[in-house]
Chains A and B, each alone.
Chain A
Amino acid sequence: MDVTFDTVYKNPEEIFPGHTINFEKATWFDPWAIGLACLKGIEFKDQADKQLILPKNADMLMYLKRMHFNKILMEFTYNSFLGPLHALEIQEHDNENVCEILHCEFRDALEAQLSSKIRRMFRHFGLNELDEARATALVGELGNNVFDHNDGQWPSSVRGAIILAQHNPNKHRIEIVVADPGIGFSGSLRAVNKSIPTDEAAIELGMSGVTGRVGEPRGNGLKVIQDWTINKFDGIVRIHSGAGLVVVDGNGQKAQSVFSIVGTLASFVVKYKQ
């Protein structure tokens, strides 16, 4: 069973039943699904009946290891479920097309990762100098939003930006995901408008440039992310926040109601030329 953006919304109860993350039947992952699992892991972390079921498929287990999924799930107190992942050995130089999950708890950590690991990752994935600078700026912008809209209001003890990336060299495609267990678009925009009807409406409002930082001249970051992703990378922007999902690409914007998550998951997909 593929566990990816294209499948996870069709059968969420199979992958996230109760307080369980069930990857048992997974035969394929994408970083979006792993980002969702990180947020679900945070949501369930204090539940006595929480469970993580790892994939039976050895390749998928290896993928999770290459993502350093065990390290971040350890942070969220899932250690008793992670034995098979801890036991796996990998050579980091074989880790060519995935980025280990980076958990930047504070803004300073984001700044440090942007200047080092994230730039190296894009260069290693094969982006030219110009595209690497653009993509790094977009990661910075998504990461900035995490702290700009959540500092002082984190709903739980877990805070910060969780960054994942994967490169598909055959399709010349890179997906970057930034997840945060924060207050979400609705929580942030409540300061502006208390009657936003749905989470997808809140996301659409945020993407149009309305900001929850009342009285401050800002709100252009998400517009630039959409502009560059679509017009410079022929890519896709996806945002899932609360129970809303919005996808924007060259064909327009689509919004729908989906299962609820804590916080926000945002990604941009880069299609690059060689």
Chain B
Amino acid sequence: MTVQMSKFNTVLNGRPVAREAALRIQQIVNGTAKTEDVVLDFAGVEVLSPSYADELLTVLRTKYGNEKVKIVNTTQAVSETFEAVETHS
């Protein structure tokens, strides 16, 4: 199941917003994670804050496992945020 992250916003910021998005993603994914990866498509997302990225990944990886959650179509800025979160966690 692919989730278009830009449908949440093109500026993704803050843990409370990320927690709500993660809950919503669980609803969208529903039972498909048993057979498919959870693909987060960041096409169109222009700004991603570290706290949003950290919260989103923490909640979804806890739920589905590290290997199931995939991130695709990131801009350089969005990629840097994910890298920074991995580096500083």
Contact = CB atoms under 8 A, between A and B. Distances in A.
Interface residues of B, number: 29
Contacts of A217: 58, 89
A228 interface: yes
A141 B53 CA distance: 11
A119 B58 CA distance: 27
A46 interface: no
B14 A133 contact: no
Nearest to B11: A115
Contacts of A136: 11, 47
Nearest to B55: A218
A137 B16 contact: no
Interface stretch (A83-91, A163-171, A219-227): A219-227
Interface string B28-65: 00000000000000000011111110110010000000
B88 A223 contact: yes
Among B13, B48, B55, residue most surrounded by chain A Cβ atoms (within 10 Å): B13
B85 interface: yes
Interface in A140-164: 140-141, 143-144, 147-148
Interface size range of chain A in the complex: 20 to 34
Interface string A96-118: 00000000000100110011000
B72 to A, nearest CB: 18
Contacts of A133: 46-47, 75, 77-78
B47 A107 contact: no
Contacts, number: 86
B17 interface: yes
Interface in B8-26: 9-11, 13-17
Interface in A117-140: 119, 129-130, 133-134, 136-137, 140
Contacts of B80: 134, 228, 232
Contacts of B76: 130
Contacts of B87: 227
Contacts of B88: 209, 220, 223-224, 227
A137 B48 contact: yes
A111 B12 CA distance: 9
19 contacts: A107-B16, A111-B11, A119-B11, A119-B47, A129-B77, A133-B46, A133-B77, A136-B47, A137-B77, A140-B11, A140-B13, A144-B49, A144-B51, A218-B51, A220-B50, A220-B85, A220-B88, A221-B49, A232-B80
Those 6 A-B pairs whose CB atoms lie nearest each other, nearest first: A133-B77, A140-B13, A220-B88, A140-B49, A223-B88, A224-B50
